[in-house]
Amino acid sequence: MKHEPLATPAAAPAPERGIEGPGQDPDHCGLEGTVYAPDAAALAGSRAHPLIAGTKVHLLTYGCQMNVYDSEMVAGLLGERGAGFVAEPEAADLLIVNTCSVRAHAEDRVYSRLGRIKFEKRRRPGFLVAVMGCMAQKEGERIAERFPYVDLIVGTRQLHRFPQLLERIREGAPTPLLAIDETPDVNFGETVARRETPFQAYLAVTRGCNKRCTFCVVPYTRGPEVSRPVEDVVAEARRLAADGVVELTLLGQTIDTYGYDLGANLWTLLRALHGVEGLKRIRFITSHPEECRDDLWRAMADLGGKVMPFIHMPAQSGSNAVLRRMARGYTRERYLDVVASARSLCPGIEIASDWIVGFSGESDADFERSLTLMETFRPQMSYIFKYSVREGTPAQRLPDDVPDEVKKERHRRMLELQERISLELNRERVGQVEEVLVEGPSKTDPARFTGRGRARRLVHFSGDAALAGKLVRVEVTGATGLSLLGERIE
Ligand code: SF4
């Protein structure tokens, strides 16, 4: 899935939740991380725990949607026990940093943040610091050595134990307390009680990844792929819908292999979810080109009332030689075949992609092939990353031989191409009507509102606060490379 959280999202609608990129949509995640600061009024949990109730938590999330999901899960578990969430770290009794290992820069930011916390720890006895997520899993012992004042380090497969671990610390357990064992059983957590909006939720349906893309650290931080049974996912979706969720995004590192370990598959899961009352939109990320099947496109077309016509399918490169070195398992031709099948079996489907520029051995000709691939299938948007070596990945053994200046120039050119394509595609929407899920007031113009079209395009339009969480129809009157502008119609 979105594995490369910290890159430049081309034409990425500024605020999107936690995918990759600074600004990354991560609009939410991004270089500075995303602060989790939900509704303070909702804090009085029904299962308040004496060692947790009243704790003021500042939760900072780096990385992909899976990290956002994990943060929401931990926030939900703590909230149930009576913890509250604050937007300012200075006001917190507990700082939680949910970390990302996908890019060196993300790790550096976390290290820098942990370094600065030392003074805060000295100044405020009782102030607790926890590190969770991918860096905790991969670098937990190193973090404990380098930052001994960190109280709690929780790996990716132990997050469901977070409240109990916090209780142990409050009971006087020695710190740093490390919980980074790889458990064979994966706990997907229960209903996520805390979400950034009450009407949208992520739902992890697989954990881990069985691929071995040579640049990627995910298989080593999140372990092998495990799927959540269909009936569990449907039960969770029902709970979320009953709690007011109308848009559900299923998460998996390679969502197309969902259920292979259970004798199920993604399209049967989509069919089962389609029947959940109250849900109006279902999305899923991230698709792997080698794993997409025609049955999926057919199901998306059949279920188009609720399953949105959008996939995020990273290409990474347009050069077969580079794809081979990345061990991606497909060729440029196969990628284009998958796009063609998707578009013919599910008309109107739109595609977002990821690209890495400057991977080991990428020649000028290889890079040109990436540009021509992008020009050929014309993604609606892309996240574009400059390659950087990740410790512990197979690509560490390959030379990082593309000079940084060349990477920057390739990044610039690719971004420019994507921006042109996005603008052209958005202009084609002018005069059409978009069905939009209203998210809230625009960040740049409070007089206008913002939402997402069916293919996740950001749409700005006239509206009012009562529309948040509702589906509205908007006539598109203008377009930029990043968004559509329009007027609401009945
Ligand atoms: S190994 Fe490949 S498929 Fe798996 S998470 Fe990483 S990039 Fe995605």
pLDDT digits (tens, 9 = 90+) for 12-47: 332 222 222 223 332 222 333 455 444 433 444 456
* Backbone torsions φ then ψ of 317, nearest 5 degrees: -155, 155
pLDDT (0 to 100) of residue 79: 85
Ligand 1 contacts CB of residue 3 (under 6 A): yes
Q: How far is the CA of 235 from the centre of ligand 1 (A)?
A: 28
Q: How far is the CA of 286 from the centre of ligand 1 (A)?
A: 10
Q: Which domains does the chain have, with CATH numbers?
A: 8-179 (3.40.50.12160), 200-427 (3.80.30.20), 433-489 (2.40.50.140)
pLDDT (0 to 100) of residue 64: 81
Ligand 1 contacts CB of residue 254 (under 6 A): yes
User: What residue's CA is closest to ligand 1, atom 8?
Assistant: 1
Residue 275 neighbours by CB under 8 Å, 6+ apart: none
Q: How far is the CA of 217 from the centre of ligand 1 (A)?
A: 8
Distance (Å, whole) CA 137 – CA 33: 18
Ligand 1 contacts CB of residue 214 (under 6 A): no
Residue 369 neighbours by CB under 8 Å, 6+ apart: 317, 318, 319, 320, 332
pLDDT (0 to 100) of residue 131: 95
Closest CA to 348 of 301, 384, 298, 395: 301
State the number of CA atoms in the 13 A half-sphere of 141 facing the CB: 1
Q: How far is the CA of 209 from the centre of ligand 1 (A)?
A: 6
Paired sense of beta strands 381-386 and 128-133, if any: unpaired
Ligand 1 contacts CB of residue 312 (under 6 A): no
Per-residue pLDDT reduced to its tens digit, 196-245: 688 999 899 998 999 999 999 888 888 899 999 999 999 999 999 998 99
Q: The whole model's pTM is what?
A: 0.82
pLDDT (0 to 100) of residue 190: 59
Read off the DSSP letter of residue 312: E
Ligand 1 contacts CB of residue 95 (under 6 A): no
Pocket test of ligand 1: the residue of 19, 212, 213, 288 to mutate, having most ligand atoms within 8 Å of its CB, is 213
Q: How far is the CA of 254 from the centre of ligand 1 (A)?
A: 7
Q: How far is the CA of 288 from the centre of ligand 1 (A)?
A: 8
Q: For each successive 10 residues of the chain (490 residues), what is the average pLDDT?
A: 35 27 30 44 54 90 84 87 87 92 82 89 91 90 93 90 92 90 64 69 91 92 91 94 94 95 96 96 96 96 94 97 97 98 97 97 98 98 93 93 97 97 97 95 82 94 86 96 91
Distance (Å, whole) CA 451 – CA 457: 8
Ligand 1 contacts CB of residue 216 (under 6 A): yes
Closest CA to 95 of 135, 55, 66: 55
Please give the structure tokens belonging to residue 485.
Answer: 């502008």
- Within 10 angstroms of residue 403's Cβ, the number of other Cβ atoms is 10
Distance (Å, whole) CA 37 – CA 83: 12
Ligand 1 contacts CB of residue 218 (under 6 A): yes
pLDDT (0 to 100) of residue 27: 27
Read off the DSSP letter of residue 307: B
pLDDT (0 to 100) of residue 278: 96
Residue 54 neighbours by CB under 8 Å, 6+ apart: 82, 83, 84
Ligand 1 contacts CB of residue 288 (under 6 A): yes
pLDDT (0 to 100) of residue 102: 78
Q: How far is the CA of 70 from the centre of ligand 1 (A)?
A: 18
CB-based contacts of 116-119 (< 8 A; 24+ apart in sequence):
117/147, 117/149, 117/150, 118/147, 118/149
Q: How far is the CA of 331 from the centre of ligand 1 (A)?
A: 16
Ligand 1 contacts CB of residue 71 (under 6 A): no
The atom of ligand 1 lying closest to the CA of 216 is 6
Q: How far is the CA of 78 from the centre of ligand 1 (A)?
A: 30
Ligand 1 contacts CB of residue 213 (under 6 A): yes
Single-letter code of the amino acid located at 279 = L
